[in-house]
Amino acid sequence: MCDGAGLAELAEEHGTPLYVYSAEQIVYRYGLFEAATWNSMGERRHTVCYSVKANSSLAILKLLGDRGAGFDIVSGGELARVRKVCKPALKRVVFSGVGKQAWEIDAALKAGILIFNVESEAELALLGERAAKLGAKARFALRVNPDVFAETHPYISTGMSEHKFGIEIGLARAIYRRAAKNKSLNAAGVSVHIGSQIRSVEPFRAAMERVTGLIAELRGDGHRIRYVDAGGGLGIDYSDAAFDPAAEVARYAAAIGPVLGDTGLHLLLEPGRFIVAQAGGLLTRVLYVKKNGAKTFVVTDAGMNDLIRPSLYQGHHEILPVTLRSGAETTVDVVGPVCESADFFARDRVMGAVKPGELVIVLDAGAYGMSMSSNYNSRTRPAEVLVKGKKARVVRRRETVKELMGMESV
């Protein structure tokens, strides 16, 4: 089941592979951040800016935008998605990313977004130029690199000096000082993001301590810093271990809230994975069960083009038969039909026996599943359904092969 909807019935009606999301779980996770105590000394102004890159489904963005969420974007395309579903939310948009182009900056300035997270002095100069040309004043926060180590996969660690992200924290004061001379720029905040899928709260605390120290110096220099962006990165558990999301958010808030003290700063948060990952699963049908020597392979109709995390990040996802039946558990590789040895969801996984034609669900696939999918091997991407209670509706239909070739010419 996904809430009140049966997975077998969803597969029968909509086909497989199929992404299935729980609206109830998404709203619940968002609400945890809204309700958390971010200041031990009383209420703190804060905005939860959902990280669009985790899952950019229009239906999910609308679900969150209608509840007052802000959005963390990294491209002009993501800005357009927010505009389409919830124009008032444009005022709650934070624009991050290391490679903003002039047209993207222009679009964000015209939309009147909340703030730009600037990642280089060259980008700051371009932001000033575009704002001057449009007769606007651009609010910005430098994304500083606090050089804090967070134990996570190297591909999603971003807070060290060796990474492409951010500006060395020791250089920030001089950059803010130079920016103050540009009448088209408004130094409104400081931003930090140290990585993704981080399970310990200590790195977040350490990063925030360094950032608040910088803000005190900047305010002493005369800058009116009003926002602090703590980024995202709070991790989930992809295993079958017990996981209490409310307790995790409480630990996170208890780690960074007291550091902010009585600064009066408006806190910006950028959760993505934590909100949607465990709210979604990839439903797929077994095509074949085959043996090669001592190995047993369960071949499904979903592949690495549908969910690339296991191949790209060695990400672990629990995989369960949709219908439990008697029979001994077996050790198998769960693989897809894509012509790559990297096309797998699990290797040497102990799971309940399945037969061709039966369904399995790849859990915790709501984040970085569909948003990172592709058409490799000219495969059409899955449909997506959003479940509310017992009702499910298609929020993205399945692609057709004709559509894949629609932009090509011979």
Q: Which amino acid is at 139?
A: R
Is 61 in contact with 81 (CB distance < 8 Å)?
yes
Residues in CB range of 82: below 8 A, 6 or more apart: 52, 61, 65, 71, 73, 89, 90, 93
Is 115 in contact with 188 (CB distance < 8 Å)?
yes
How many residues in total does the chain contain?
Answer: 410
Written as six digits, the tokens of 19 are 């992404």
Is 90 in contact with 71 (CB distance < 8 Å)?
no
Within its chain, how far is the Cα of 359 from the centroid? 27
Alpha carbon distance 272, 50 (integer Å): 5
Pairing of strands 167-168, 46-51: unpaired
Active site (annotated) includes residue 86: no
Is 305 in contact with 394 (CB distance < 8 Å)?
no
| Phi, psi (rounded to 5 degrees) for 100 | -65, 135
Alpha carbon distance 336, 8 (integer Å): 20
Q: How far is CA 252 from CA 28, 166, 249, in A?
A: 17, 22, 5
Alpha carbon distance 239, 246 (integer Å): 18
Catalytic residue among 2, 49, 86, 339, which?
Answer: 339
Which one, of 231, 222, 240, 186, lies nearest residue 363 by Cα?
A: 240
Collapsed DSSP state (helix, strand, coil) of residue 347:
strand
Whether residue 17 is preceded by a cis peptide bond, meaning omega within 30 degrees of 0, is yes
> How far from each other are the two terminal CA atoms of the chain, in whole angstroms?
46
- Cα-based angle 377, 17, 294 (whole degrees, multiple of 5): 75
Residues with catalytic roles: 339
